[in-house]
Structure 1
Amino acid sequence: MPRRALVPIPSDDVRTSTSSSQASTETDISKCLLPWIDLKDGENPLPYQPVDSVLLTRSSHVAYLYPQLFGQPMKSTGLDSYRSLVLQWDCGALSILGVKIKPNEQSKAIQTVMSFQHPQGGFGGGPGQLAHLTSTFACIAALAILLDGADQSLINETCARIDRKKMYEWMLSLKTPNGSFAMHQDGDIDVR
């Protein structure tokens, strides 16, 4: 595999909080990659570095992820159809980081996911949106993460709110004669 020098992403010289944050992130990542950049194919990597030599700014990750469980910042409204995917990613990341969501906030996040449920089955990317297989997977995965370790009554209540019969019928309606599934009604086909 050809090696490439570490170069920053080209800039248009317009400084914004996003471009400043990106530059800072690139610098942090570069510090971790530089020791390996000049290795030739077949060379052994540098001596083992303990994991604690790499700093994960956990608090920054949590500060970024946590608010997204409860709505979308105005600057992200263009991602409205991806809310289910962002929510699943946030829930998974927070779980990996060991963050316990407070019960009242857990209920609010579950309410958000449930608002994506389509009346004819499945889940959309956001409230009132067309049901989509990817969004449905993301919502069910987010609920599984949110309900991990939850009180059994909350688990039962949440599962009872998922219209499994309609979801099953909707999923069968997406199945094509060759065994693949359309991602949504009259949508693209995914053979995975």
Structure 2
Amino acid sequence: MFEARTGGTSAAATRYRRGVSADPSQRAVEVRRSARRRRTVSAYREGDRTVVLIPARMSEAEERRWVGVMLDKLAAQESKRTLGDAELTERAERLSEQYFTGRARPRSVRWVTNQNTRWGSCTPAEGSIRLSHRLQGMPEYVVDYVLLHELAHLLVPGHGPRFWELLEAYPRTERARGYLEGVVAAERLPKVPDPAGE
């Protein structure tokens, strides 16, 4: 939910701030409206918050939509700094600590290029987690969700109710699943020929 705050520079500049979550991956968002800005929307990180700049005339519904778009763009840019296998293992350990009180302890976590139909896989007997290279460049919250999904398999085999209860601890589970479903749906769309010259 957004709360209205007024800025000090002009009456047209209204600011909104989303409450800060206990989850460190969820930053506060401040939206700054500008009468001079006509069509462009931009965003940047400022300390522990994200600032989104929008035209003053934009509706609240458009604002919410654009905030989501810009957060996804920033997250995708940030995750393009590809994690190596060692960093991926550290990230998995941090996520396990944060969401599973450290109970899920993988022996290895690595990127693989031979998984084109699944996002990740886990072999509990070996304690190994493999993530598809196709996740590289996706928003961090999506990679975190897939890591948590595979970490949960170290604790609970299968996809029964106990498994999904574990994943409920991650606040962006539904959003990440929706993102991945959108990627799969987009890949299934028929290729439209380029009218300019194919």
* Same fold, TM-score > 0.5, yes or no: no
| TM score, norm. by length of structure 2 | 0.23
Structure richer in helix, relative to its length: 1
Greater RCO, CA 8 A, separation 6+: 1
| TM score, norm. by length of structure 1 | 0.23
Structure richer in strand, relative to its length: 2
Larger radius of gyration: 1
